[in-house]
Amino acid sequence: MSGRWWKLAARNLGRHRRRTVLTGSIVVIGFIATTMTAGFVSQTFTGLRDVTVKGLGGEIRLVDPRAAGKTDDEAAAFLLESWEAVARGAAKDPAVVQAMPRLSFFGLVVKGDRSAGYLGTGTDPAMEQRASSLVEAVGEGKFLADPEADEVMLGTGLSKAIGAKAGDLVTVMTTTPDGALNAVDAPVAAILRYPIKELDDRLLYMPYRPASRLLKAEGKASSVVLLLKPGADAAEVAGRIAESLKRDGRPVVARTWLETATFYRQVKLLYVSIFFFMGLILATVVILATANTMTMSVFERTREIGTLLAIGMERGAVRALFLREGMLMALGGSVLGAILSLLLRAALNASGIELPPPPGGTHGAPLHVDFIPLAYLAGFVMMTSTLLLASWWPARRAARLDPVEAIAHV
């Protein structure tokens, strides 16, 4: 029954084609902007997530319960007693790809008569290569290879501070948990170009075993970092593993990458705020343009509205007629916007445009706009609700016209 009213609404939109096309274009552009921005932001989040997870070496970090909530300096005293047992327990979970030890320490690195403070990390070279982006940061020399070898990788800033280059011999000094001083001579395997300067000035990596010997903490680790299979829910796996290890008598605190990635959360919040603000501006533009079109339409059709009321059309039906016109414009604009958005996305993804690295990243990536079905749905809902809102007042005005005055309108 209502098909005839939709048909009439569609024909009414065709009365002033140019005006309808102009208003419809705003809807189309709004829809494209919404879906493309969502796709681009999604890609940025994915890139940022990868950078963050690779920076941490995995999605989940297991630490001793005593170290939880402490600063790195404070936590350094609380090591996991048997990291291998913890790793074995965690690796039983089907979502875990690998469990890697990390040993944090600090002290002085010396070359000749020059020394500088460092923040050291003992790690498994093979697992580190697999899980993190550190290998991409090697600027000079080669990544750590032998898990037993006394060798180090230094940040560029740190290497400059002591005048070391790849192949040079340096002395790594530290204090053991018991308070004793210990040192080891180690050749520089590689110089790293780390993207964050503050870390680049202090960064030192060495294999886990020599690091644990240096600290006199064999078998112990500051943390065990878990790399998960793609698509695994980190929070769910973390809860499962913490529970399982607790049952095994090895309580740990399992923290996901998201809990520790303050930078990621801040960047995401910033992007979401920008996206929301942009959406607000878009909605305002669409509302103003549509309200203007509808108001003009009501004004031009005043006599006709008077006639409709006179021959017995109820006020609610008059209002519904104008709202249908708004709905149709939203629907048409959204469908066309979706088609154009998909075409534009395909063209951009095929263009090979290179983007700068995401915040904290070292390498750029080709432009890729993700397909987010939810964004298309959101775009449709946003356009429809916006146009309904914009049409409401003109439609209400039309429905409240006095038929006698409306028929006499010139």
Binding site residues, another protein, CB under 8 A = 1, 4-5, 8, 11-12, 14-15, 303-304, 307, 309-315, 317, 403-404, 407
Geometric angle at alpha carbon 134, from 119 and 356, rounded to 5°: 115
Cβ closest to another protein, residue 336 vs residue 407: 407
Cβ closest to another protein, residue 160 vs residue 303: 303
The C-alpha atoms of residue 134 and residue 396 are separated, in whole angstroms, by 63
Beta strands in 301-389 (DSSP E): 354-355, 365-366
Q: Tokens 């050291």, residue?
A: 120
Token pair recorded at residue 183: 């040192």
Token pair recorded at residue 85: 């047992």
Give me the amino acid identity at 355: L
Nearest to 119 by CA among 157, 145, 81: 157
Terminal C-alpha separation, the chain: 33
Cβ closest to another protein, residue 32 vs residue 305: 305
Provide the Cα torsion 326, 327, 330, 332; round to 10°.
-110
Nearest to 201 by CA among 240, 164, 244, 155: 155
C-beta of 401: minimal distance to another protein in Å? 12
Cβ closest to another protein, residue 12 vs residue 256: 12
C-beta of 384: minimal distance to another protein in Å? 23
C-beta of 303: minimal distance to another protein in Å? 7
C-beta of 47: minimal distance to another protein in Å? 51
The C-alpha atoms of residue 67 and residue 56 are separated, in whole angstroms, by 17
Cβ closest to another protein, residue 375 vs residue 399: 399
C-beta of 15: minimal distance to another protein in Å? 6
C-beta of 22: minimal distance to another protein in Å? 19
Cβ closest to another protein, residue 14 vs residue 94: 14
